[in-house]
Amino acid sequence: MDTPATQTDGDRARIGAVRIFILNDHALLRQGLRDLLEHHGFEIVGESGSAAEATRLIHILEPELVLLDDRLSDGTGIEVCRGLRATAPHVKCLILTSRDEHHALRAAVLADATGYVLMQVGDKDSIVNSVRSVIAGKQLLLPGVRERVADSLYATASAAWLKSMTAVERNVLAFMARGFTNKQIGQEMTLADDAVAACVSSVLYKLGFRRRGQAMQRPFGYT
């Protein structure tokens, strides 16, 4: 276990008041995150391995910060984060992923998260430091990053994932990359909430964030 960084009494008081929720579908990893964060003085108010359960519990437990895995057995942390941005915008979100940094950055932008943590074996400091930065009110995504990610999504028009998307899905992706919530996308495109949610799910599946067989069924009228 790493030795905690030196903290002032004010730091301890502020951290002790912070409520954190962990969403990850690996029980051992959840336990490891809980142990690490509690060791550094954070309060873990809840945890889950399910996107659906987490969405329900987060609104009950009212954490200030949620750590979300980008891929789950029943969805993605991206979708959970997008939902929170619409229903509980005061809750800060950090996307957790063990994949490459390009993937992590893209996930954070599409989720409209405060930032991301690239988890690597033996690197505990990055998680703790990222949590502290978010608590302090810092944005972990630098200015201009969202625009660069949005541009990169369309840099190669012949990309297989882009060719596989419908016109509606491409438009939804464009709004997601610009930081629009699902409700805002529905208003812009005159789509019902369930149609937007299904489209977001399909977009994330084609981008590789949802696991095979998880893409939601398209509601009537969705093309």
**pLDDT at res. 17:** 64
Which pTM was predicted? 0.81
Q: Is the pLDDT of residue 100 over 80?
A: no
Helical residues (DSSP H) of the chain, grouped into ranges: 9-16, 27-39, 51-61, 77-87, 101-111, 125-135, 145-153, 160-163, 167-177, 182-189, 193-206
Q: Which domains does the chain have, with CATH numbers?
A: 9-135 (3.40.50.2300), 145-206 (1.10.10)
Number of neighbours of residue 188 by Cβ within 10 angstroms: 13
Q: Which residues pair with 68 in a beta bridge?
A: 23, 95
pLDDT of residue 57: 95
Q: What are the Cα distances from residue 136, in Å, to 8, 105, 201?
A: 14, 21, 32
> Quick one: pLDDT at residue 104?
86
pLDDT at 211: 67
pLDDT score at 222: 35
d(C-alpha 116, C-alpha 127), whole Å: 9
The span from the first CA to the last CA of the chain, in angstroms, equals 52
